[in-house]
Structure 1
Amino acid sequence: MSSSLGRAFAALLLASAPLAHAPLAFAAPAPAAKVPAVPVALMRETIKTLSADDMEGRGPSGPKEQQTLDAIIARFKAAGLAPGNKGQWLQDVPMVTIVAKDISPLKVGSLSFKPGADFVVSSYREADRTVLDGSELVFVGYGITAPELGWDDYAGIDMKGKVAVILVNDPDYENTDETGLFKGRRMTWYGRWPYKYAEAARHGAKAALIVHDTFPAAYGWNVLESSGGTGNFVASANKGMDQTQANGWMRRPVAEAIFAAAGKNFAALSAQAKQKGFKAVPLGVSANLSFDNTITHALSHNVIGVIPGTTRPHDYVLYSGHWDHLGHCKADATGDDICNGAVDNASGIGALVALADMNRRAGPAPRTQVFAAWTLEESGLLGSEYYAQHPIYPLAQTVGGVNMDALSVIGPTRDVQVTGGDKSELTAILKKVEGQMHLVETPEDHPERGHYYRSDHFSLAKMGVPMFAVGRGSDLIKGGTALGNAQLEDYVEHRYHQPSDEYSDSWDMTGMAQEVELYYRLGRELAVGTSWPNWHPGDEFRAIRDASRATVTTNKTATKSK
């Protein structure tokens, strides 16, 4: 799980009682194909190996990466997979880390603000020095361009050479339910800070500054102050020169002071920005800021395996999980400084290996099944991001997928939790599988925090590929929600991203086996089916998927006409 907010466990603290189901008024469907037994011993052995001290926490690009990769490849081979990258097991993932240093104060007219205390900033470009010299500030509201919703905060404004000042979250985040153009309380991709930076760059802005406010951001200023100034990126051929020169955050009181100096009322303009048709407002004041950058390059690797399809081999179904963790970290009271990452996410790779083994025993499916162990998730989803930018198998021909991050070691539950809500036609498949397994859905806790956009499945989703983001709930069959919530909270407080996230022979694997069966059923439905699930109309990724799938139709038509 990404170090930012510990989303996978923090999101799993709400459960519901089983729901009553009305009797069917039509003939029951044919029973689902028999599910191969979940290889629990294989999962245990895989998790134990990957989280052992001699792996030193599986730090990417570190001294134990090759040992980790070799262990995963050996298990992929034993599970019956073939090398998935043109006869090779590995996909190179180049990354760059840029750290801002010697940051000057941010000066706007006679106002001067301190780095860290008042603002944080970093560069997305591989440049030794970044300078904003008299760059005009423009308030662009929420910084959203959403044609499918008829919304464009950048309409009619030329942002070249200017600094975009942006509000965090979506325009209707204050709603108590999910009504509203931007799904109300549920954060969409348009509310996330990476989107806002990218959109500012797309409109030619020189820099982007987001106004921090704790409730819509879902975290305090201390989170930004402790992590600001450093960025991890997939290395690009243009060295990030299509990005803004600087991106950052400023505290709300800083924004209020700047607006007041410009003769503007921050609260009034923020209220106007919630309305469709809002027009960007040049503030008539300029920013001055400079800092140096330390640039470091590294290379890591995704591991890719494949089971070729029988009758539709050019349709692809993706199963994935990240293999990396934190390596050496802050030592505990005993002096142990190895963050083993047993749950996060050796468990996901154990599940990935188990799914490969189960699909081998079930026999190849009509569609090709791809198994990907991502790197650099903890550095910002970079392994999956690189694959999405450089897919081995065309994304337009990728039906959908299942990503696995931090499985249960607390026993089976009566419920599952769906992250992101009902976004796509994958929901119909999930409901079918829930019925087969006698599970009910639990509402997502804190939908305003945008957990859907913080795990590896999102790298594929934003390129149009529908991805399941589902896992166990907390209504334990033995112990109910009280015990389930207590155990999940205990993990977050005492083991998440700490040396104590270690494998134990005492683990209850029945919950993990239940999750793996769920993932098997979901993926197998895609692999044996003929449907092409799409995002629901109005979803932020629908237009991307439509355009992607249109290229396949066009190519097929062109081929037939020859």
Structure 2
Amino acid sequence: MKRRVINLFSLFAILAMVVSCGNVKQSNNSIINTDDLKQRISVLASDDFQGRFPGTIGEEKTIKYLEEQFKLVGAQPGNGQSYFQEVPLIQITSDQIMKLKIKGAKEELLLNFSEDFIGGTPQPIENIDITNSELVFVGFGINAPDYGWNDYAGVDVKGKMVIALVNDPGFYDSSLFKGKNMTYYGRWIYKYEEAARQGAAGVILVHETEAASYPWGVVQNSWSGTRFYLADNIVTKSGLKFQSWVTKESANRIFDLAGVNYEKALQDAAKKGFAAQQLNLNASIGFKNSVKYINSKNVVALIPGTDLSDEYIIYTAHWDHFGVNPKFKGDSILNGALDNATGTAALVEMARVFNSQEIKPKRSILLMAVTCEEQGLLGSQFYAENPIYPLNKTVAVINMDALNIFGKTKDMSISGLGYSELDDYAVEVLKAHNRYAAADPKPERGGYYRSDHFSFAKVGVPSINMGFGVDNIEHGKQWSMDTMGKWISENYHKPTDNYEPNIWKFDGMVEDLTVYFELGYKLSMIGEFPNWRDGVFYKAKRDEMMNK
């Protein structure tokens, strides 16, 4: 990889950074304007924005508001003369009056939508009809040569329905894969894509709360109704007609119908040498779809650099959430206050702080509020595959997804801690504030693969996903874990994720945002391009990119 040699320029740049931080006009000893931050969160999470669902008036209001706010703080358009990057999408709404029929030799099951299963199609066609498709248990549905694992070995699933487990074998056997650290192979999006590559007609994923890291209600709220897909994606171009989830209880009934003990099947699937199993069952389902083609938008704003203005630090946060779901009685608006009005509001605040520096960043700062993160990281994926600025000129991506509302912590977590040299810079910034970096406290959730930085990692750009810590100064670690777990159970992807200024604690959020800013500023003032560490999968792509 091409690297600049650290020279006098770099030393002066670092010195300038230190001096500039001391020269910033501060309020209450903070570079973050808490009142402005609160105001922007309250607007983005208001009922007026209708849950910020792509392709609706909620999107229109959101992107207009962000454009106005970026202009207000002096950020320039990030895409020529525009603050927007259009993201072409296929919008598919499947008729929820559908039933999944599983037929055995003597009996059959009829599973009900939402209660027993959630499903739809990635195909932009009006009618889906799958009749008596053979059902094959493919374990975790993983084909991973790098781990010597192939659940599809020796079985032909073309035109068939496969049933697969969530997460990866390491969740059940710490000697496999990366143990409790979920790999990308454990993510639902990978399992659908792999089934598509194998030629399957449909996929049924078995939901287990612990292995998935969220309850069935999250699946119901996230997958009911409209789904979006990028026009040029593997599942839409494949023969995969049906992608779905079933409850664990429904899975037990399916395996019982096949004369197979589900728990034993799970245990066998988590052992080396597992072989896919024909269940001697047939699956049938039919439903209608409404299909539209729309353009959603990423919002992009720019703080131009000085000496190295053609090199970029990108801050990302997703602006989208789940809109309005009439199935919720009473309050049916999923406002997504924590997830992710906080991160989106922070993008504007980052733009303001960078623009207010007496010594401007040498590298340019791109603030990007991306669409359709909740639909599978689609907005960030589209940018990563269709970048406005060259990826080999993109120094790093710093992602902000759901900020700290629980109070000050001694630490900040880094998903994938140790993957890249960006972590070293983050550690330095945290140390300067007498804080420390901690690994993701729940790596089995696969957090590294669940937010927008991962779209950039996949194409080779070093990316960091920092989150609020658990070492709460006032209450300690166990309190933090319990409180976060309770919040997720009660509010994640539900209408109760509301802006609650009288309950939220903003002091920790402000401290974390100071770290986010200083990390980006530090990277903007040095002459090097941080890389992935040796042995990390994404390094080869970065090396190839930088040597062109």
Query: Do both proteins adopt the same fold according to a TM-score greater than 0.5, normalized to the shorter chain?
Result: yes
Tell me the equivalent position of 1:203.
Answer: 198
Give the counterpart of 1:47 among 28, 35, 41. 41
Tell me the equivalent position of 1:163.
Answer: 161
Q: Equivalents in 2 of 1:437, 1:294: separation in Å?
A: 53
Structure 1 residue 513, shift from structure 2 partner: 2.1
Structure 1 residue 198, shift from structure 2 partner: 0.7
Matches within 5 A, 1:331-346: 341-346=336-341
Matches within 5 A, 1:62-461: 62-95=56-89, 96-110=91-105, 111-116=107-112, 118-175=116-173, 179-221=174-216, 223-224=218-219, 230=225, 232-236=227-231, 240-242=236-238, 244-251=240-247, 270-283=266-279, 285-327=281-323, 341-362=336-357, 363-442=359-438, 444-461=440-457
Normalised by the size of structure 2, how large is the TM-score?
Answer: 0.81
Q: Equivalents in 1 of 2:171, 2:252: separation in Å?
A: 20
After superposition, give the CA deviation of every residue in 1:471-498 in whole Å (9 maximum; x if it has no partner). Answer: 2324444555577668757865777644
Tell me the equivalent position of 1:513.
Answer: 510
After superposition, give the CA deviation of every residue in 1:178-216 in whole Å (9 maximum; x if it has no partner). Answer: x53421122221111111111111222222222344442
Q: Which amino acid aligns with 1:513?
A: V
Q: Equivalents in 1 of 2:116, 2:333: separation in Å?
A: 34
Structure 1 residue 372, shift from structure 2 partner: 0.3
Bigger shift: residues 416-425 or 220-229: 220-229
Contact 1:108/1:258, CA 8 A, preserved across alignment: no
Structure 1 residue 298, shift from structure 2 partner: 4.3
| SS of residue paired to 2:302 | strand
Bigger shift: residues 309-318 or 191-200: 309-318
Contact 2:17/2:522, CA 8 A, preserved across alignment: no
CA change 1:254–1:503 in 2 (3 A) is: closer
| SS of residue paired to 1:88 | coil
Q: Percent identity?
A: 36
| SS of residue paired to 2:237 | coil
Q: Equivalents in 1 of 2:280, 2:488: separation in Å?
A: 46
Q: Which amino acid aligns with 1:273?
A: A
Contact 2:417/2:423, CA 8 A, preserved across alignment: no
Tell me the equivalent position of 1:524.
Answer: 521
Tell me the equivalent position of 2:55.
Answer: 61
Q: Equivalents in 1 of 2:290, 2:38: separation in Å?
A: 41
| SS of residue paired to 1:141 | coil
Normalised by the size of structure 1, how large is the TM-score?
Answer: 0.79
RMSD after superposition: 3.7
Contact 2:134/2:280, CA 8 A, preserved across alignment: yes
After superposition, give the CA deviation of every residue in 1:338-379 in whole Å (9 maximum; x if it has no partner). Answer: 655544433323321222222223344343321101233445
Structure 1 residue 327, shift from structure 2 partner: 4.7
CA change 1:286–1:317 in 2 (3 A) is: same
Q: Which amino acid aligns with 1:90?
A: F
Tell me the equivalent position of 1:546.
Answer: 540
CA change 1:167–1:218 in 2 (3 A) is: same
Q: Equivalents in 2 of 1:130, 1:332: separation in Å?
A: 27
CA change 1:247–1:520 in 2 (3 A) is: same
Contact 2:78/2:300, CA 8 A, preserved across alignment: yes
Structure 1 residue 548, shift from structure 2 partner: 5.2
Contact 1:331/1:499, CA 8 A, preserved across alignment: no
Q: How many residues align?
A: 519
Q: Which amino acid aligns with 1:93?
A: V
Contact 2:140/2:169, CA 8 A, preserved across alignment: yes
Contact 2:101/2:110, CA 8 A, preserved across alignment: yes
CA change 1:464–1:204 in 2 (3 A) is: farther
Structure 1 residue 114, shift from structure 2 partner: 1.8
Q: Equivalents in 2 of 1:366, 1:192: separation in Å?
A: 38
Q: Which amino acid aligns with 2:512?
A: E
Q: Equivalents in 1 of 2:207, 2:503: separation in Å?
A: 44
Tell me the equivalent position of 2:18.
Answer: 33
Q: Which amino acid aligns with 1:164?
A: V
Q: Equivalents in 2 of 1:549, 1:516: separation in Å?
A: 31
Tell me the equivalent position of 1:5.
Answer: none
Q: Which amino acid aligns with 1:133?
A: T
Bigger shift: residues 184-193 or 481-490: 481-490
CA change 1:416–1:390 in 2 (3 A) is: same
Contact 2:17/2:525, CA 8 A, preserved across alignment: no
Contact 1:185/1:448, CA 8 A, preserved across alignment: yes
Contact 1:126/1:241, CA 8 A, preserved across alignment: no
Contact 1:332/1:499, CA 8 A, preserved across alignment: no
CA change 1:410–1:237 in 2 (3 A) is: closer
Tell me the equivalent position of 2:6.
Answer: none
CA change 1:396–1:546 in 2 (3 A) is: farther
CA change 1:33–1:181 in 2 (3 A) is: farther
Structure 1 residue 113, shift from structure 2 partner: 2.0
Q: Equivalents in 1 of 2:124, 2:203: separation in Å?
A: 17
CA change 1:319–1:266 in 2 (3 A) is: same
